[in-house]
Amino acid sequence: MSGSTRLPFLDPEPWRVAVMAPTGRYARNQVAGMFEAGTPLSGGVALGRGGTTMNGLPLYDRIEDIPERPNIAVIYAPAEGVLDAVAACAAAHLPTIMAVAEYVPVHDALAAAALAREAGSWLIGPNTLGIFVPGRGLLGSIAPSFCKAGRVALIVRSGTLALAMARQLTLAGIGQRIVAHIGGDSVIGRNPHEYLQALADDEATSAVLFCGEIGGDKEYAFAEAARSFPKPVYAMVVGRHAPAQKQMGHAGALIGSAREGAAAKLEALAAGGCRIVKGPEEAVAALSELGND
């Protein structure tokens, strides 16, 4: 597993963050939150607004115009503009790309994911609240006040649960290496097992908590990756009591067969060596036994 992949936003190189399409109301609020969290924003890309500023953020017409080359891009383009924005970031070979929008068409998400992979970029999302790395900064809208620095990597498919779980861990004194909402759609840039593989050699991570959910088959690849993971992996699956054939919340949470239900996924995760926890309280209790070293 060693050297299989890496999370570029955890590299020692300082962050230089570009914001694509930063001028909408939602994006403006997000930019303000990232500034407040200490995220180093290099500039925003807004065609026709180059040479101006927005609340302290210098604006440029193209990503190539930003004087200090970014290594991260956060995209606030609407769903129909995500593919073009990801393509521009991939063409610039940015190591980390994050697409926030919901309702990205599946064929666009597939194309965006392929373009990012071909460029060697790590695509987070679509449909993500983002990433928070204590001590480094915020990408998106994970509440920094819900988090604290530590050694547990939190990998979550549900945005709501990402916030709730980070908050519960912090209240219990359990710090996080990263809090990652990887994206709630059925097609996302990088899947849960890839995050796990990338953390295998991360010396700052001592344990992983994965919060999966019903729908799709992402938990099965995660279970296989967990077999050779050298650190404790705790896993839970949200939606244990959801009825079959009923969509719960978003496109990634639809049970199409027994294999996509919680029971089968929990069985696979346990077989892969994950320590199964039934919910947030049990997860906190189990991780508390590890200590905070």
182: in domain: yes
Distance of CA 237 to the CA centre of its chain: 17
Identify the pLDDT of residue 254: 52
In this structure, the answer to whether residues 181 and 275 fall within a common structural domain is yes
As given in the structure block, the two tokens for residue 7 are 């999370």
Identify the pLDDT of residue 244: 55
In this structure, the answer to whether residues 160 and 271 fall within a common structural domain is yes
In this structure, the answer to whether residues 135 and 269 fall within a common structural domain is yes
Residue 215 phi, psi dihedral angles, 5° rounding: 95, 140
Identify the pLDDT of residue 261: 85
As given in the structure block, the two tokens for residue 26 are 């939602």
Q: State pTM to two decimals.
A: 0.92
293: in domain: no
In this structure, the answer to whether residues 155 and 27 fall within a common structural domain is no
As given in the structure block, the two tokens for residue 37 are 């969290």
- Domain range holding 238? 130-288
In this structure, the answer to whether residues 141 and 254 fall within a common structural domain is yes
CATH code, domain carrying 18: 3.40.50.720
Number of domains in the chain: 2
The C-alpha angle 135, 168, 283, rounded to 5 degrees, equals 110
**Residue that terminates a domain, selected from 86, 102, 124:** 124
In this structure, the answer to whether residues 101 and 33 fall within a common structural domain is yes
| 41 φψ region: left (φ > 0), alpha (ψ -120 to 50), beta (else) | beta
In this structure, the answer to whether residues 160 and 284 fall within a common structural domain is yes
Identify the pLDDT of residue 39: 98
In this structure, the answer to whether residues 88 and 152 fall within a common structural domain is no
In this structure, the answer to whether residues 22 and 98 fall within a common structural domain is yes
2: in domain: no
Identify the pLDDT of residue 142: 98
3: in domain: no
**Residue that terminates a domain, selected from 98, 124, 150:** 124
In this structure, the answer to whether residues 140 and 256 fall within a common structural domain is yes
In this structure, the answer to whether residues 156 and 263 fall within a common structural domain is yes
Identify the pLDDT of residue 2: 37
Say if residue 21 is exposed, middle or buried (CB neighbours under 10 Å; 0-12, 13-18, 19+).
buried
> Which string of b and e fits 241-254 if b means at least 16 CB within 10 Å?
ebeeeeebbbbbbb
Identify the pLDDT of residue 215: 86
1: in domain: no
Cite the active site residues. 250
**Residue that terminates a domain, selected from 74, 106, 124:** 124
158: in domain: yes
In this structure, the answer to whether residues 210 and 260 fall within a common structural domain is yes
The C-alpha angle 3, 112, 131, rounded to 5 degrees, equals 60
Q: Which parts of the chain have pLDDT scores under 70? A: 1-4, 239-257, 291-293
147: in domain: yes
CATH code, domain carrying 146: 3.40.50.261
Identify the pLDDT of residue 240: 53
38: in domain: yes
Identify the pLDDT of residue 243: 55
Output the CA torsion sign for 90, 92, 97, 102: negative
CB contact at 8 A, 75 and 20:
yes
Cα–Cα dist 170/161, whole Å? 14
CB contact at 8 A, 222 and 269:
yes
